[in-house]
Structure 1
Amino acid sequence: MKFTATPIAGAFVVEIEPHADARGLFARTVCDDEFARHGLNARFVQQSISRSVGRGVLRGMHFQAAPHEEEKLVRVTGGAIWDAILDLRPASPSFRQWFGIELSSHNHAALYIPKGVAHGFQTLTDSAEVLYQMTAPYTPAAERGVLWSDPAFGIAWPLADPIVSARDQSHPLWQ
Structure 2
Amino acid sequence: MQLECFQKPIKGVVEVLSPRFGDERGSFSRWFCAEQLCDYIENLSFRQINHSENFLKGTVRGLHYQLGPQREYKVVRCIRGRVLDVVVDLRETSDTFLQLISVELCAARNNALIIPPGCAHGFQVLEHDSQLLYLHTADYLPNYEGGVHLKDPMLNIQWPLSITEISVRDIGLPELPENFKGLSL
Give the equivalent residue in structure 2 for 1:115.
Answer: 117
Q: TM-score, normalised by structure 2?
A: 0.90
Residue-by-residue CA offset, 1:94-146 (whole Å, 9 max, x unaligned): 11011111112111100000001110001011111111100011111111100
Report how far residue 56 of structure 1 moved: 0.3
TM-score (norm 1): 0.95
Alignment partner, residue 35 of structure 1: 37
Residues 1:168 and 2:170 are matched in the alignment: yes
Q: Distance between the aligned counterparts of 2:40 and 2:105, measured in 1?
A: 22
State the distance in 1 between where 2:86 and 2:50 align.
18
Greater Cα shift, 14-23 or 86-95: 14-23
% of aligned pairs identical? 36
Q: Please report how far the alpha carbon of residue 168 of structure 1 lies from its aligned counterpart in structure 2 after TM superposition.
A: 0.8
Which residue type is aligned with residue 19 of structure 1?
F
**Structure 1 stretch displaced more, 153-162 or 45-54:** 153-162
Secondary structure at 1:163 match in 2:
coil
Q: Distance in 1 between matches of 2:163 and 2:31?
A: 34
Of residues 100, 103, 111, the one that matches 1:101 is: 103
Q: What residue is the counterpart of 2:181 in the other structure? A: none
Superposition CA RMSD, Å? 1.2
Corresponding residue number in structure 1 for 2:59? 57
Specify whether residues 174 and 31 from structure 1 end up closer, same or farther in structure 2 by C-alpha distance, changes over 3 A only.
same
Contact 2:85 2:103 in 1 (8 A): yes
Q: Is the Cα–Cα contact under 8 Å of residues 14 and 40 in structure 2 kept in the other structure?
A: no
Aligned match of 2:182: none
Equivalent position SS for 2:63: strand
Structure 2 match to 1:79: 81
Count of residues paired in the alignment: 174
Structure 2 letter corresponding to 1:88: L
Asked whether the equivalents of residues 46 and 137 of structure 2 are also in contact (C-alpha less than 8 Å), the reply is yes
Q: Which moved more, 1:84-93 or 1:17-26?
A: 17-26
The answer for unaligned runs of 5 or more in structure 1 is: none
State the shift of 1:72 in Å.
0.2
Structure 1 residue aligned with 2:183: none
Counterpart AA for 1:96 = L
Q: Bigger shift: 116-125 or 164-173?
A: 164-173
Q: Secondary structure at the match of 2:51?
A: strand
